Structure 1
Amino acid sequence: MNKPHSPACERNREPILAVLSKYFGDRRHVLEIGSGTGQHAAHFAAAMPQWIWQSSDRAENLPGIRLWLEEAMLPNTPAPLAFDVGGAWPAERYDAIFSANTLHIMAWAEVEQLFAKLPDITRDDAVLVIYGPFNYQGRYTSDSNAAFDQSLKARGEQMAIRDAEAVDRLAQTAGFQLIDDVAMPANNRCRVWQRRGDR
């Protein structure tokens, strides 16, 4: 099996790392939800050796992730977890959660489930960073995002670029407050929330 490769991961990894370095700077245990190819896990864990970077994805994607991690041979990357929002969740609690390009792939009910269960796996001051395209007030931020949304819906009717305000409501209900919204290349965003200790 050849290592899976995403050109988009190569392009966006440094801008994302800049955001993670700022908001995960004092974090130790990071769970990546939906690690995809494994490229981000290998790159971020190498750049920030103080993080224990726990990758996760559906079982069919784990072999490719393992290839990236085995090649990197890093001490801070445990074996990837089989993880699906509708299945069993990790028993450990993390002080940081990262996910890239996942919300528009999942059905909205799965997005709701993801946020509803975050309090069960996060510490009181956990930081959440989600990368990807978002709509604002129901509007696309670019023609390319509009075209991308149409291509998503052609692949599956459950897929769609999510409205930032709707995601913020889910986060707030789960006890997470939006603390930053960073513009990224190719009309993407890094949205950053922190868990409030009163929940």
Structure 2
Amino acid sequence: MSKDFFSPEQDGDRDKRLFAPATARNREPIAEVLRDILPETGMVLELASGSGEHAVHMTAALPHLYWQPSDVDPAHLASIAAWARHAQNPRLLPPMRLDARADDWMLTGLPAPVVAITAINLIHIASWDVAEGLITGASRYLETGGILYLYGPFMRHGAHTAPSNEAFDASLKARDPAWGVRAMEDVAALAETAGFAPPDIRSMPANNFSLIFRKLD
């Protein structure tokens, strides 16, 4: 279960870096999956990069790939930029403002083709039109064989996979009725309609899942 629907804390050093507690717990399990599925070269576009900590970790863990972080929140964009300055990794690009619902993601001037798009802990803390925009945009910008990677809690077969996820879902909906843990089948149906193969489903720690969608012809 993901308990952070994004609530990082500043460390007080005034460099604008934010810290999300869940990142330290899930970044390496996610990196293990990405090492297994991503190609040897290219660019990974991350939507809703949040604090930027995943971007820093993945760029170090996947030294053959560029990483393009993005977000819509000004504080998050500032944090990502601060983390990038701190990391000093030339393959970690400056963050871009990107709303998944936009018709044009403005993906120009990138140093490598986008081979994968990731969204970590996004679609349960956003309205459903964000999931629709994410998957439609991924279908638009990925070539055949490109990967859409989603991570987070999901319902399966009409039920939560753990009592803690059910409680988490209720807490999300109390904050915003448009939020909530999504049904895996609904997400898969949306992706398949957009031209992706059925997902490779991998169980992750703390009752989360990795959903790996590959773009078809």
| Same-fold status (TM-score > 0.5) | yes
Between 86-95 and 28-37, the greater mean CA deviation after superposition: 86-95
Q: Which runs of 4+ in 1 moved over 3 A?
A: none
CA contact (8 A) 1:178 1:191 kept: no
Q: Which amino acid aligns with 2:201?
A: D
For 1:68-79, list aligned pairs within 5 A.
Answer: 68-79=83-94
TM-score normalised to the size of structure 1?
Answer: 0.94
- 1:165 correspondence with 2:214: no
What amino acid is aligned across from residue 89 of structure 1 in structure 2? W
Amino acid at match of 2:28: E
Identity of aligned residues (%): 38
Q: Find the counterpart in structure 1 of residue 80 from structure 2.
A: 65
Contact 1:141 1:187 in 2 (8 A): yes
**Could you tell me which amino acid in structure 2 is paired with residue 132 of structure 1?**
G
CA shift for structure 1 position 63: 0.1
Which of 141, 145, 162 is 2:165 aligned to?
Answer: 145
Give the Cα separation in 1 of the matches to 2:38 and 2:124: 24
**Contiguous gaps of at least 5 residues in structure 1:** none
Q: 1:12 aligns with which of 11, 26, 29?
A: 26
How far residue 49 of structure 1 moved from its aligned partner, in angstroms, is: 1.5
CA separation of 1:126 and 1:144: change in aligned 2, threshold 3 A:
same
TM-score by length of 2: 0.87
TM-superposed CA distance for 1:179, in Å, is: 4.2
Q: CA deviation at 1:27?
A: 4.4
Does residue 32 of structure 1 match 2:52? no
Q: Any conservation in 1 of the 2:101–2:129 contact (CA below 8 Å)? A: no
1:49 is aligned to 2:63: yes
Alpha-carbon separation, structure 2, partners of 1:78 and 1:33: 13
Structure 1: how far apart are the matches of 2:199 and 2:133?
A: 22
The amino acid of 2:114's aligned partner reads: Y
> C-alpha displacement at 1:174, in angstroms?
1.1
Residue 64 of structure 2 aligns to a residue in which SS? coil
Unaligned runs of 5+ in 2: 1-13
Partner of 2:195: 175
Shift of the 151–27 alpha-carbon distance from structure 1 to 2, 3 Å rule, reads farther
SS in 2 for 1:183: strand
How many residue pairs get aligned? The number is 197
Structure 1 vs Structure 2 CA RMSD: 1.3
Question: Secondary structure, in 3 states, of the residue corresponding to 1:30?
Answer: strand
Alignment check: 8 A CA contact 1:107 1:158 kept: yes
Residues in 2 aligned to 1:138 and 1:169: alpha-carbon distance in whole angstroms: 14
> Which AA in structure 1 matches 2:91?
N
Contact 1:27 1:96 in 2 (8 A): no
Could you tell me which amino acid in structure 1 is paired with residue 59 of structure 2?
A: A
* Mapped contact 1:90–1:121 kept (Cα < 8 A): no
SS of the aligned residue for 1:46 comes to helix
